[in-house]
Structure 1
Amino acid sequence: MAGRSGRAVWFTGPRHIELRETDVRSAGPTEITVRATRSLISAGTEMLVYRGDTTPGDRMPPNSEGTLPFPTKYGYQIVGEVVDAGAESGYAVGDRVFCRHPHQDLFTIDARPAYVVRVPDGVGDAAATFLNLTRVALTGVLDVPVKPGETAVVFGQGIVGMMCARIANLGAAATIVVDRFEKRRELALRYGMAAAVEPQDVASVVAELSHGRGADIVYEASGAPPALQSAIEIAADRGEIVAISLYGSHLVPLRLAPEFHFRRLRITSSQMTDQPRWDWARRTEASFELLRRLPVDDMVSRTVGFDDAADAYDMVDRDPANVLGVVLDYARG
């Protein structure tokens, strides 16, 4: 295939999006060229970039371009169809693939497993865009697994927090979620959570459902600095706290006495690095299986044409009470 051009989402200033023309190289022997069908906006790290809240130490995802804070082409969850495949890529024209690549309608990418994976039958394109965030949630639960009979609490019911709660709830005696937005709490209850509460009510509900023991495990996925303090306060003796959130440039002040020391709590940072017995490929396979078992249709609040990407980001930024997952549809633009 001769070299072509595509259009990509670029962050060019605080809360400013542009669709820029970009050259698309021909696929080399180990590369594939992909025509996008769907991609998912991350309300976590992507919105930090969108708002200009990154820090000098933040890392760029694979296949991103530019520099932080601006301008940058940044993103990591896009699904499409292979339109050209190198002889050594392992893919064929027509294959459906998930790629760790920014939002772009046509692109060429190295087909190594860390960047590209086939979308299995039974997982639609929109659902497949949830792969990366499902893998983030799964990694948090793998970092500190929930044991039968334990009480788990998840702060934040964005996509990562909601998937974390759903995965934890497969084994927990009770899973309690915390979010300030009513629609997210209602959806969590439909997904089978024991309770869904506002932040100011979490301590009393945890005390009731844990019979006074406190939360065995607390997953912090809200991105709100005060949530980590609340996690310390509600954890049981020798309880564990998993910090999934990336806080960007926001300061996270903590009061550690008396709970942190007297209860001998442990805080674990969660990141998608390989773990014993759980390499990248295994977590990818498990995440796709979770997407078969845990449908995400109700987690897609809006589907927006690619031409209107700027409006989609504005929607995620300004209306979190009503917007959870926003998918870009490349057939519309």
Structure 2
Amino acid sequence: MPFDTSRAVWFVGPRQIELREAPVHRPEPYEITVRATRSLISAGTEMLVYRGDTNPGDRMPPNSEGQFPFPTKYGYQTVGEVVAAGEDSGFHVGEHVFTRHPHQDLFTIEARPEYVVRVPAGVDDSTATFLNLTRVALTGVLDVPVKVGETAVVFGQGIVGMMCARIAGLNAAATVVVDRFEKRRALALHYGARAAVEPQDVKDVVFELSHGRGADVVYEASGAPPALQSAIEIAADQGEIVAISLYGNHEVPLRLAPEFHFRRLRITSSQATDQARWNWVRRTEAAFGLLERLSVADMISSHVGFAAAAEAYELVDRDPANVLGAVLDYPA
């Protein structure tokens, strides 16, 4: 039986958001009930859902509801305070946790390590909302690491691309980022990128910085289908390309000759699933470690009250040149 009610964000049509009531049941021994404090809107996959650019049968993250394309309750990065805890959950009332749960002000969730994790004392709730996207970026770099002295290129400076560039830059001799928006390029330079260019300029800059070799590793995190073609064209001999983007139902046409075959390039798909030696728990710990080292305060463009969630999505959709991270704030 429900012991409370809540409100949750539902995608009900292209660019249409509703806040719907949802019952909240008391936690079972292995569950916790969380009152949300912050959640982050993903400008990548979540905006594909918002715009209706998904296919029936596409995989949903855990704890989502409904179906693609609509209606669906979709999301995966909500932070909050534990207000009730089952005796076998391993959590206590008052702890702050990151959850893989859609945007909802109160909810009960199974306390599995891949769904719920404690927020470290040194990480505030707004920063903690970046955990999942940081883990996605980290997974891309783990799939194809940048070796010391190599040239890395990152297409797209949304949150995933920006974190990917910052992580790759810990080893790379030069990191080049590619984005069509000036503010994102400027922020990437602030965070340590060697060069930040518009898409049409990337080839000349990469070959200049790499002394004609091309990029050793290219991460495609823009979600723009033409970027994968550009990645093939700028990669060095035996270079590696990591496709982090999810393209939804957009076609991705490629011209493979001559670069792809003659340069013996490799394209790796990256998805935040378990790898050898890097299971979900370990990547979560590493991602929180990165968030403690790499401030994301400048990546938060706006805070919007949960009640105005529809306005937040419209803002992200309408003004990507000025909006990077949009955080929903929940009432105390």
After superposition, where does 1:110-149 map in structure 2 within 5 Å?
110-149=110-149
CA contact under 8 A between 2:34 and 2:107: conserved in structure 1? Answer: yes
1:192 aligns with 2:192: yes
After superposition, where does 1:278-297 map in structure 2 within 5 Å?
278-297=278-297
SS in 2 for 1:282: helix
CA-CA distance at 1:331 after TM superposition: 2.0
After superposition, where does 1:46-125 map in structure 2 within 5 Å?
46-125=46-125
**Structure 2 Cα separation of the partners of residues 160 and 73 of structure 1:** 22
After superposition, where does 1:246-285 map in structure 2 within 5 Å?
246-285=246-285
Task: State the AA in 2 paired with 1:157.
Answer: Q
CA-CA distance at 1:57 after TM superposition: 4.0
CA-CA distance at 1:243 after TM superposition: 0.1
Task: State the AA in 2 paired with 1:75.
Answer: G
For 2:331, the equivalent position in structure 1 comes to: 331
CA-CA distance at 1:55 after TM superposition: 1.6
Q: CA RMSD in A?
A: 0.9
CA-CA distance at 1:273 after TM superposition: 1.4
1:172 aligns with 2:172: yes
**Structure 1 Cα separation of the partners of residues 11 and 273 of structure 2:** 26
Which stretches of structure 1, 4 residues or more, deviate above 4 A after TM superposition?
A: none
**Structure 2 Cα separation of the partners of residues 117 and 33 of structure 1:** 13
1:235 aligns with 2:242: no
CA contact under 8 A between 2:36 and 2:106: conserved in structure 1? Answer: yes
Residues 192-230 of structure 1: per-residue CA shift (max 9 Å, x gap): 100000000000000110000000000000000000000
For 2:33, the equivalent position in structure 1 comes to: 33
For 1:153, the equivalent position in structure 2 comes to: 153
SS in 2 for 1:331: coil
> Cα gap change, 1:42/1:75 in structure 2, threshold over 3 Å: closer, same or farther?
same
**Structure 2 Cα separation of the partners of residues 64 and 297 of structure 1:** 28
SS in 1 for 2:136: helix
CA-CA distance at 1:166 after TM superposition: 0.3
Unaligned runs of 5+ in 2: none
For 2:45, the equivalent position in structure 1 comes to: 45
**Structure 2 Cα separation of the partners of residues 82 and 206 of structure 1:** 48
CA-CA distance at 1:56 after TM superposition: 2.7
Task: State the AA in 2 paired with 1:100.
Answer: R
Unaligned runs of 5+ in 1: none
**Structure 2 Cα separation of the partners of residues 26 and 180 of structure 1:** 48
**Structure 1 Cα separation of the partners of residues 39 and 75 of structure 2:** 9
**Structure 1 Cα separation of the partners of residues 46 and 273 of structure 2:** 19
**Structure 1 Cα separation of the partners of residues 289 and 211 of structure 2:** 34
**Structure 1 Cα separation of the partners of residues 250 and 140 of structure 2:** 21
**Structure 2 Cα separation of the partners of residues 159 and 273 of structure 1:** 19
- Normalization by structure 1: what TM-score? 0.99
The percentage of aligned residue pairs carrying the same residue is 80
**Structure 2 Cα separation of the partners of residues 115 and 34 of structure 1:** 12
